[in-house]
Structure 1
Amino acid sequence: MEMVELGRTGQQVSSLALGAMQMGNATDEPDSIRILDRFTEAGGTFIDTADCYEWWGFRGSRGGQSEEVLGRWMADRGNRDRIFLATKGSGLPTHDDALWAADGTPNWDLARRTFAGAGADTLRKALDGSLRRLGTDHVDLYYVHVDDRSTPLEETLEALDGLVKAGKIRYLGWSNVRTWRLEAIKQLCDRYGWTAPVAVQQQHSYLRPNPSVDNVSIVGNEQLDWLRANPGTALVAYSPILKGIYDNVAKRSQFTDYTGPDTDARLATVDAIAGETGATPNQVVVAFLMAQDSPRVVPLIGPRTPEQLENLLPAADVKLSADQLARLSA
């Protein structure tokens, strides 16, 4: 697996990142360990989690299971210094029995209204909890998981800068955020000399979002333009294969957020290039994203099973020609 620079930090990370969201819940610990071992054997170094993963997994959960699995795995393998470790804070909702319906279904509407937020004390406590579960004294990348517009940005940024200076965080990131907020964050960091984010984690794939979609988490043209103008901020793209729809024709109509006038043409081009390369459509999409450098894109895959990981790892070896990249882009 190739290595790429994260923003303009000089820090090299694997060109493919592994999302650990489901580890410890939807993916049991033995399978989680198999996935982690296989990813690192393949040259992967960039692993992503969050303090809230997966609070929605079962009634009464407060999350943290993913971080705990990662902590045990790193301690057992003795490989913490070889892992570029990312976690997140601000996304854990306030505990309330109403977070789960009678059948155990999570109440996402209530969760979104009661996220912990990015207040200074909240972030400090959240990070300390993450470090304890991960069994480490620092994380390499720490995201504000859910952009908090009720807390002054100055409070959040000053607190995060203090945590960087304290050695608990190496680099900062932001997730689920509007473009104008990224610009406001950049300007405040420039003004006060605070540590600026070097990564933004958003949902991004090969299909373009429906023009009518207004979703803070999905990258649109304006955000891509801002990222091109600010190459110090890398795009870490979660859900790059949209739950595998490129390989599953029956699922393609389910993602209405990504239906538009060019959807059929884009899917046809992916299918054609998959036939030319001998790769799967999912692998072609991941390879296409890995090839982007303006802005730099690091696809973040989240396999639930070892088999799903094996189906995606070959994307790292798919070499798309200049003609194929141009056809996909067009």
Structure 2
Amino acid sequence: MHARAAAALTSVAGSVVIGVLVLPTAAQAAPANDRTVVVAHRGASAYAPENTLPAVDRASALGISWVENDVQRTRDGVLVVLHDTTLARTTNVEQLYPNRSPWNVADFTSSELARLDAGSWKGAEYAGTRIPTLHEYLRRVDRNGQKLLMEIKAPELYPGIEDQILRQLRRDGWLDSWDVKHRLIIQSFNADSVRTVHDRRPDIKTGFLGTPAVSELPKYAKFADQINPSHTTTSADYVKAVHALKGPHGKQLETYTWTVNDAQTAQKVAGFGVDGIISNAPDVVRAAIGG
């Protein structure tokens, strides 16, 4: 830089000042706009057992209106909220049912799951926490006045689960026009599952989890309102490519990125222009982006 030009630049709080104009440096990511959605991943799972009612309540106590969860199905056909397709990591299933390895969710009945402790692994204060059914989970989210980003987990293991989920949502009052418009998104890593939900209920907002090639985005935009990539595969150029398209409802395609748990990464992806950030520690993200 020319010496005279360099002398005119002054560093203030990590920014470069030119006259009265402040330009962010590379180390200072642009903040999110006031429409950036912060979503509690599996509830506020940094603080309470993931995908449980205490995690939903903790998100509510933090003032987080959106929660994310994962839905699977038991052997006797009950929809439950759990992330892993096996019960081993987040419950005491190995102690209660030692001879039933690999302890797949689909191999257990709902009454058997109801016996499991899904909280002690997170802390003694959560001992006895149960795996919620989808019905129980929906009622709690509704009671708290929250909104739901629902993931259909491994739908290839549960044929017909999309229709079953829609029936449960209808029974629990989540499919009236206001709820569909304002507080429900259904997503999956399985494109066929997302497409099925869109075909059954075109009014429901849907998301595809992953990072399709930019050349493939128009195909996804036919049935998904969101493209939701990992933060490790998100960039400003990718967000721009997503935003250049319209989804099935004729609105700009959105992107929610996951799983962001620290302030620096939150500021970085906010600077990319993402529409939402999914986090185990949503309060940390909210503070970092000024939401």
Normalising by structure 1, we get a TM-score of 0.44
Task: Give the structure with the higher percent helix.
Answer: 1
Bigger-Rg structure (1/2): 2
